[in-house]
Structure 1
Amino acid sequence: MTRPRGRPTNGKGVARDDILNAALGLMGESGGQGLTMRALAARLGVTPMSLYHHIGDLAGLLRALSDRVYAETLAGLDGLPDHQAEIRTLLTRYHRAVGHHPQLTLAIFATPEAFAGVTRQITDRLMALLAKITTDPLLWRDILIDHAHGSGLALVSVRGEPLQVQALQKQYQQALDRLLNTLSASA
C-alpha cells in the first residue's frame, strides 16, 4: 500500500506546528542524532517531500525550530533601564533556552546555514548593545555568548535534579554579573 505524496495516511494535511513539535521531540529523545527528514516524516506519517514543502531542508527546519525556541529571548527588552540590564536579560533568557534545548544549539553549531532568523537577531542585538558600552564589542560578544552556551549546555548533566539546575543557573547569573561588571569597569 502506498501513501499519497505529502499527506498522512489518514488523509489530513500536516501543519507546520506539528512538524516543529515532532522535530523537538525527536531531538530530545535521540540526543539530536535522530533528527533527519526521513525520521521526522515517519513520526508524522507523511512522505519526506511534504516536510520540504513546509520547512525546506534540514537547515530550514533548524531555523524554524530556533525561531520558535529563542523567540522570547528578545521580547520586552526595550523597557529596561540601561544597556547592561538589557544584555543581562537577553543572555539570561538565551542561557535558559540553550539549557532547555541543548540539542538544538548543538545542531545549529553543526549546520552554520541554520544560523539565521532569531538566532541572528539575538547576536545582532547583543553586538549593538555592546558597541554602545565597549570599544571591543566583538571580543565581548564572543566571551558572553560562549559563556551562555557552555553554561547552558552544562545543564544537561543535571537534568531531572531541580536543585542542581537552580544552583547552576544561579552560578551562571553570578558569573554573568561579574563579566558585565568587568566590562563596565573597563569601558
Structure 2
Amino acid sequence: MSRDDILRAALTLLEEGAGRGLTMRALAARLGVTPMSLYHHVEDRAGLLRALSDRVYAEVLADASEQADPLAAIRTMLIRYHDAVGRHPQLTLAIFATPQAFAGVTRQITERLTALLAQITPEPALWRDILVDHAHGSGLALAATSGNPEQAQILRDQYRQALDRLLEHLPRR
C-alpha cells in the first residue's frame, strides 16, 4: 500500500459519500488494511485532506509565476481553481469543514493570489475573498452538471465572463 493508493481511495470515498464517507476506518476497510496502518502515511483526517488538496490543487499554481502580467496570472489561477472545485466539490467542502486542512497548496494559492492582487489594487484581501468565493460558488454549481457536458460548458463560459468582468472592475492603485 502506497501513499498514492491511499489518496486515490480517499478521494473516491470522499466523492462517493458526499463528504461523509471519508473516515480513517472506512478508508482502511476500502484498502483492506487496519486503520493504524494508515497513520504511517498520514497523521490524521486533516492531514489526509491536506494531502488530497495538495494533489488536486497543485495544477492551479503551475506556471503562475511565469506570467509577467499579474492580471493574466490571477485569471489563469482562478480558472484552474474553479475547474478543480467543479471536479472535486466534496474535497472543497471537506476543507471548509476542517480548518486544519487549510495548508500546503491551498494556502500557497491564497498567498500567491493575494500577492498578485496587491500589485493591482489597494484592497488585495477584500478582492481575494470576493474572487475566491465566486470561484467556489460557481465551481460547486458546476459539479451539479455531471452527466451534462453542454450545461457544464455553459457554466464554465459564464464563470469566465463574470471573472473577466470582475477583473476589469478591480479598483486600481
Q: Where do residues 124-143 of structure 1 align in structure 2 (5 Å cutoff)? A: 124-143=111-130
**SS of corresponding position for 1:163:** helix
- Residue number in structure 1 paired with 2:108: 121
2:85 counterpart residue number: 98
Matched residue, 1:31: 18
- Give the Cα separation in 2 of the matches to 1:77 and 1:27: 28
User: Is the contact between residue 114 and residue 125 of structure 2 (CA under 8 Å) also seen in structure 1?
Assistant: yes
Matched letter for residue 129 of structure 1: L
Alignment pair present for 1:156 and 2:106: no
Task: Give the alignment's TM-score, normalised by structure 2.
Answer: 0.98
Number of corresponding residues: 173
Counterpart for residue 8 of structure 1: none
- Pairing 1:49-64 to 2, within 5 Å after superposition: 49-64=36-51
1:172 to 159, 162, 167: 159
> Larger relative CO (CA 8 A, sep 6+): 1 or 2?
2
What is the match of residue 131 of structure 2?
144
Letter paired with 1:94: Y
- Is 1:75 aligned with 2:62? yes
Unpaired stretches in structure 2, ≥5 consecutive residues: none
Structure 2 counterpart of 1:68, one-letter code: R
1:89 paired residue number: 76
The CA distance in 1 between the partners of 2:128 and 2:160, in whole Å, is: 17
Pairwise CA distance, 1:186: 4.2
Q: TM-score, normalised by structure 1?
A: 0.90
**One-letter amino acid of the structure 2 residue matched with residue 35 of structure 1:** L
SS at match of 1:160: coil
Say which SS state the counterpart of residue 144 (structure 2) adopts.
Answer: helix
Quick check: which has more Rg, 1 or 2? 1
In 2, the alpha carbon distance for the partners of 1:87 and 1:122 equals 10
Unaligned runs of 5+ in 1: 1-13
For the 8 Å contact 2:120–2:172, the answer to whether it is kept is: no
Distance in 2 (alpha carbons) for counterparts of 1:179 and 1:69: 26
1:44 equivalenced with 2:18 (yes/no):
no
